[in-house]
Amino acid sequence: MFKLSSRSLWFAGCMGAVVLWSSMVSAGIVITGSRVVYPAKDREVTVKMTNNAEEPSLVQAWVDKGNSKLTPDKADGPFLITPPITRVEPKKGQALRLVYTGDDAASKKQETVFWLNVLDVPPMPKDKEANFLQVAVRSRLKIFYRPDGLPGSPAESAQGLKWSVVQTGGGYAVRATNGGAFHVSLSTITVQANGRSYQVKPEDVKMVAPGASETFPVQGLNTAPGAGTQVDYQWVNDWGSPQKVEAKL
């Protein structure tokens, strides 16, 4: 039985944040895909989800521009979601319809990223006298809003990253510059230098926006890389698959 208001759903989600980031195993709601691509020419995009649990779940969805702390009533993403709150029966599916409501003229030169939040709230236990902890799980997926006529492609933006070595306070880092019109989501970065392999910590790997640069500290690289230094990196395509690229510095 569900007795949560729209506002209380969000507070339940805050309580479940640790579960979300540490493990997704406990989530009953499973979303198809790891990202959403929204071509500007489409009137709407559908996101499919399935409840794999043995009990129904109440799902709340909203979009923000990157501030994960915004509550649903203050969500600033330019999207209409239907339905914003829905009950998903066990072993059943449900689709969320996303309609872009923003100013298309404001983002015609490059891709824009928004974030889709899906909050999964389990039902209250049948035994009302028992002690229990109700945990909600929130998933956040990137929405890539893609205007028509952008030059190049996501693959060309990823493969065309320009890499350089920069000195930091305690060592060296590599810097990636994205000259393309599409975001590049990196998943791993390895530097081959001085006869050794050096890794960038997973938590330091991030997305590179169009026209932007990001710097990644390299573990253990304390001397200047010599000739023949190479950066091996993986980027994630529209279907969530990692693609490997080798770049000479």
| pLDDT tens digits along 177-228 | 999 999 999 999 999 999 999 999 999 999 999 999 999 999 999 999 988 9
Task: State the pLDDT at residue 136.
Answer: 86
> Do 193 and 221 contact (CB within 8 A), yes or no?
yes
Q: How many CA atoms lie within 13 A of 116 on its CB side?
A: 31
Q: Which of 38, 21, 41 is nearest to 138 (CA)?
A: 21
| pLDDT tens digits along 155-170 | 999 999 999 999 998 8
Residue 122 — very low, low, confident or very high, per pLDDT cuts 50/70/90?
confident
CA dihedral 179, 40, 50, 183 (to 10 degrees): 10
Residue 127 — very low, low, confident or very high, per pLDDT cuts 50/70/90?
low
Per-residue pLDDT for 176 more than 80?
Answer: yes
Mean pLDDT of the region 129-147 = 85
> Do 189 and 231 contact (CB within 8 A), yes or no?
yes
| pLDDT tens digits along 89-111 | 999 999 999 999 987 655 678 99
Q: How many CA atoms lie within 13 A of 192 on its CB side?
A: 11
Percentage helix, strand, coil for the chain under 3-state DSSP, each rounded to 5: 15, 45, 45
Assigned architecture for domain 154-248: Sandwich (2.60)
DSSP classification of residue 247: E
Q: Which residue has the higher pLDDT, 231 or 17?
A: 231
Task: State the pLDDT at residue 13.
Answer: 40
Per-residue pLDDT for 70 more than 90?
Answer: yes
Per-residue pLDDT for 27 more than 70?
Answer: no
Which of 4-18, 66-80, 110-124, 228-242 has the weakest average pLDDT?
4-18
Cis upstream peptide for 225 (omega within 30°)? no
Per-residue pLDDT for 87 more than 50?
Answer: yes
Q: CATH code for 6-146?
A: 2.60.40.10
> Do 65 and 115 contact (CB within 8 A), yes or no?
yes
Task: State the pLDDT at residue 234.
Answer: 98
Per-residue pLDDT for 145 more than 90?
Answer: yes
Q: Where in the chain is the domain with CATH 2.60.40.10?
A: 6-146, 154-248
